[in-house]
Amino acid sequence: MTRPLLTDEESDVAGLVTAVVAGRRPSDERPDEVAEMRRRLDDAGLWAVDGPDDLAAVVLARLGRDWPALAWASAQARVAADVLGEDVRHGETPVAVVDADSPTVRLTEANGMVAGVVDRVDAAGERPHVVVLGHRSARVIPPTALRFSRLRRTGLDGALTSSAELVAPTAVVEITDVDTDAARVRLRLGGAAVAAGLADAATGAALAYSAQRVQFGGPLIALPTVRDGLFGAARVALTAWRQVFRAATPWQAAAVLDQACEHALDACAHAVQAHGGYGYLVEYGVERLLRDAVSLRAACDVSTARRTGAASLTGWEAS
């Protein structure tokens, strides 16, 4: 493990996550199993965690090691519960949270009616509610108003990724006086926690493989260059963990999300190299980790987080 030392409570919760998801693999081809896992996590108090952010980050990171698709969906559900109330905190109700500032959110409003499409939602549910974060308000689009079309992607199996198009102009609920800055911070730090879990898993896989793989008469870890490379990967994973617990403003959370996703990609790429390089990719489980890291970055909409974070940092807004 490359994560920092956890408290007893955090260790117990991480162990509970492991027990719930052990031996299971998500798949878009088995949506009923994905829904069942949402319910099981909810029954264990691990879905959309109603507790301190640090504890929620541990849950998301630990879940991100095995089921990043479900972890990202859980992070969105936690934010949605803050905005909408407890009804959507339960795993029975899939929900996607998107940013109105994203170019993938193409909605228009005329005479109180909303039309358009959200190009991508990753809710680990077939017909989710869609929450659109605006500025001091949020719109809630029910699944009955939407047409969902599945999308292909690199990884993140089990996310049931789709587009969500309004079938007709619709009057949607708009919740006002929402602390959308806080919602964006929590959403981005949730994604960063999932990325930290992916980086941790990749580094652990590289360490385990290098310890048992024999080459030149001994294990790979006998080679100084291999040990140094593993140390670098572990440092990246540890940094990703530590940064998740520090951000407080939207631009800081955007920076943490951006870097955590890059750290996850770096750690996964190093794990592939430790297993012999890209020519051997499909032979090992780290292939899935690398694909998941690529898709997680897209699902978290890092490009929008960077753009709006830069505007927040500088105080500049386009006219």
Q: Which of 89, 118, 146 is the last residue of a domain?
A: 89
Separation between Cα atoms, residue 220 and residue 224, nearest integer Å? 9
Three-class SS state of 161 = coil
Do 184 and 310 reside in the same domain of the chain? Answer: yes
The boundaries of the domain holding residue 272 are: 180-314
Question: Do the domain assignments include residue 3?
Answer: no
Model confidence band, residue 275 (pLDDT cutoffs 50, 70, 90): confident
Mean pLDDT of the chain: 88
Task: Read off the pTM.
Answer: 0.85
> Are 277 and 189 in a shared domain?
yes
Residues 247 and 128 in one domain: no
**Does residue 190 share a domain with residue 159?**
no
| Same domain membership, residue 80 and residue 121 | no
Report phi then psi at 38, rounded to 5: -60, -45
Domain presence at residue 319:
no
Cα(308)–Cα(258) distance, integer angstroms: 12
The answer on 292 and 211 residing in a single domain is yes
Decide which of 137, 153, 176 is a domain's last residue. 176
Per-residue pLDDT of 215-259, as tens digits, reads: 878 888 888 888 888 877 777 777 777 777 666 688 888 888 998
Instruction: Output the pLDDT for position 318.
Output: 46
pLDDT of residue 4: 62
The CB-side HSE value for 19 (13 A sphere, CA atoms) comes to 10
* Residue 292 and residue 222 share a domain: yes
Q: Which tokens in the block code for residue 275? A: 């297993």
Number of domains the chain is built from:
3
Q: Do 288 and 187 share a domain, yes or no?
A: yes
Angle at alpha carbon of residue 138, lines to 251 and 62, rounded to 5°: 55
CA dihedral 25, 130, 133, 181 (to 10 degrees): -40
Is 218 inside a domain boundary? Answer: yes
Shared domain for 192 and 295, answered yes or no, is yes
Report the pLDDT averaged over residues 43-53.
88
In the predicted model, is pLDDT for residue 125 greater than 90?
A: yes
| Cα separation, 27 vs 86, whole angstroms | 28
The CATH number of residue 296's host domain is 1.20.140.10
Q: What is the pLDDT of residues 61-120, one digit of tens each?
A: 999 998 999 999 999 999 999 998 766 666 788 999 999 999 999 999 999 899 999 999
Are residue 261 and residue 162 in the same domain, yes or no?
A: no
Confidence tier at 160 by pLDDT (50, 70, 90): very high
Of 142 and 2, which is predicted with more confidence? 142
Q: Over the range 224-241, which residues count as b (16 or more CB within 10 Å of their CB) and which as e?
A: eebeebbeebbebbbbbb
Please report the pLDDT score of residue 1 as a whole number: 52
* Residues 130 and 83 reside in one and the same domain: no
Residues 254 and 207 in one domain: yes
Q: What percent of the chain has pLDDT over 70?
A: 91
